[in-house]
Amino acid sequence: MEKTKELQKIESQFETFQILNEDGEVVNKKAMPDLSDEQLKELMKRMVYTRIWDQRAISLNRQGRLGFYAPVAGQEASMIGSQFALEKQDWILPGYRDIPQIVFQGVPLEQAFLWSRGHLAGGQMPEGVNVMMPQIIIGAQITQTAGVAMGLKRKQKDAVAITYTGDGGASQGDFYEGMNFAGAYNVPAVFVVQNNRFAISVPVEKQSAAKTIAQKAVAAGIHGVQVDGMDILAVYAATQEARKRGLDGNGPTLIETLTYRYGPHTMAGDDPTRYRTSDLDDEWEKKDPLVRFRKFLEAKKLWTEEEENEVVEQAKEDIKEAIKKADNAPKQKVTDLIDLMHEELPYNLKEQKEEYTAKESK
């Protein structure tokens, strides 16, 4: 397809924003965020923690001790960097892969494991933690975020609503509807598309004729930016700016993070070797966000192998304890589900509840 000069001009405006290159060198000093040494180390700790958590979750899934799980290795910079730019009062509306963000926002790890198992307690977010239950329907969280952001604006809250989806989610109708609504009402929303190159098995090049996902912000009349999603500092800076833009009354932002998932789409039978080449895997492994940021910190003499090992052991211990708590959670009952769904039962459900109450008491 031959693109018009007008379209080429638009697409040329969306250059990838980067601060650290693959060797951990600063290539954009002007854009460096104002983070203390301790904050820089905290970013690394969270990425290492998440990588170990991901490895353990995959193992638990294979043992039948965890339910649904979508691996996150490779996407740590995109997830951790964006969440780190938020404040406690901000709202996160996650997709099903975005469990690290909500845990670092305040959801207990054992509750995340219960959600994975389909336990009703997994969706009961703690009081004061502004997080919605992870959305399974692809793209539905986009329209919900527009609504939450509208509520924040009407109540004059000093907060934004942020949501996440993948490149596949950017092809959903809800994606366009949510952004259009958010733009029309100028609400404080941040839409993060984690472009990991594949919607399950469909490569991003076959999903859209657009050169970037970020440029889709133009049609909605909102700001859009494409970010190196393997560069945690670039992701943090872009999210921080988007948050400020929303709070200042300058509307929503679409952030496209260029990233890669090293594992399968989910642990429910996906085999990435059927649609990804080893050469592509090797190319993106050289961009590993942990390796890149480790080099940056080591050059500043802020990170050691000993510190990393401490984080690894802490993660293993936390996961062990969280799984134990999840195992000890009260067994889920049908009557619990009925009670949660209805304040007043219709007559037919009263009969069914009586039947299940009798069964569960045996």
265 is an active site residue: yes
Neighbours of 247 (CB within 10 A): 16
CB 209 within 8 A of CB 217: no
Range 294-299, long-range pairs (CB < 8 A, 24+ positions)? 294/24, 294/44, 295/23, 295/24, 296/20, 296/24, 296/25, 296/26, 296/233, 297/24, 297/40, 297/41, 297/44, 298/24, 299/24
User: From the centroid of its chain, how far is CA 333?
Assistant: 30
Q: Which residue in the list 265, 276, 292, 294 is annotated as catalytic?
A: 265
Q: Which residue in the list 197, 243, 261, 292 is annotated as catalytic?
A: 261
Q: Which residue in the list 176, 185, 275, 356 is annotated as catalytic?
A: 275
97 is an active site residue: no
119 is an active site residue: no
From 46, 93, 91, select the one nearest 72 (Cα to Cα): 46
CB 89 within 8 A of CB 159: yes
Neighbours of 38 (CB within 10 A): 8
- Beta strands 223-228 and 189-195 are unpaired
Main-chain dihedrals φ then ψ at residue 185, nearest 5 degrees: -100, 5
Which tokens hold the place of 225?
Answer: 């930016």
The residues annotated as belonging to the active site are 261, 265, 275
